[in-house]
Structure 1
Amino acid sequence: MKPPAVSVNRLFVSYHGKDALADISFTLEQGRMIGIVGPNGAGKSTLFKSLLELIPRDKGEIAILGKPLKDMRRQIAYVPQRSEIDLTFPITVSDVVLLGTYPKLGLFHRPKKRHKEWSCHCLEKVGMADFGKRQIGELSGGQQQRVFLARALAQEAQLFCLDEPFVGIDVTSEETIITLLKELRDHNKTVLVVHHDLSKAHAYFDELLLLNVRLVDSGAVEKVFQPGSLKEAYAAQLPFSDWNIGAVSS
């Protein structure tokens, strides 16, 4: 029997004494595409960062593919929000993607011909092969996001975590990215996406985690995408008189 892709038990994270995540527990099976949704300040990005130990947790247990994170880091590809990336750094698109091969190279090993060929293939997958010599900051938002996905593909990971990948990008790039993410899912990879547009939840995801500091609900989109759960998560942000499913986004 395959272990869960992600298992979280009673996770607590706080900033300056205030809960960012409180008593979060869930299990995600492999080969699923999961949307992490909730209002602003719900703890969506914090959940990613705590899963990856980029920030400390107050308490709680986390397992990736049945093992501690320290044993599974090479199996995780993380794409942070573009606002957290230094786009002025003098690095070419090709070299950005090549960085995705580094986790499996080991210390003091340089990429070989096969690694460079693989990174070129990943650029082709996202439709950016002709931009390899460009500096990353010269690209549009959608092009940059496709490059960062190519870097994630180059890692050949089992778990993909993308934080707000569709913010500020063009329709073509969004369609390219969602198609590739679904392909990963169909090859038994697990994909977690922090997402803000609930109107696309049914089209994009198999399951949802609905957060507002606590876990409001989780499971199949049809189960979570119900007025009661959505109202519980978003009511403090939107007046109930104006509340409707199609309008809710973080």
Structure 2
Amino acid sequence: MMSLDCRIPLEKIALIQSDLGLPENFRDCLIPKYPEIFSVKIVNGSEHLNLERWDSTLAVTAREESLDVTILEPESKKPLQRDGNFPGPHAFKMKYAPGFRPNVSYLEEVHKWQKMAFPSPYLSARRIDPVTPQARKRAVAVLHELLSLTMEKRLSSHKLDSFHNEYQLPCKLLLCLVKNHGIFYITNKGARSTVILKDAYDGCHLVVKCPLLQFQDKFVSLIGRPCPNLNNQIAV
């Protein structure tokens, strides 16, 4: 639903199938079960997963679902927050590194950015001028939503970048991620780095685990091994 033409090459879905919790044979066992939603079409010589039915009830981002409407206040009444957070309908949750000390001018820019309205990731990117500030903020929202759809709220940067054309991601993806370090955490520099959604973690632990990860934890505990720990991999 977020892709440019509502279709994605099957080989790219296969690239992140484990991150999405899909079975290895999803092409044959899963897609045919839902012909009213999906179809497989040949585009430019390769198989693409095509969306047959748009569902407006699903066109709500994880960021929007997590908004606490009870604390939304008029912008004029909310002072600058040193942590970069702002209780507005267009704001993202910020989690800066403990040692980060932003100055006033930086916070003012963040505050201005947090207030700025932008198009939904589920609105066709063809309608949006990519050079506008709103389009650049939308790109951050697309990355946020893509990571939110994965089981562990993280993907390697090369996997993210492989969807550049389908989601019109920033040309300088790494620069975009680094610039928004209050939202994304990058484990290492380079093409094989891992991008982690900060607001999905409390320290090194996922705040909410999907049923598949919960089942995995139970299975691991039954065989007498400790649950996987990310302490040596990330420091959000």
> TM-score surpassing 0.5?
no
> Higher strand share goes to which structure?
1
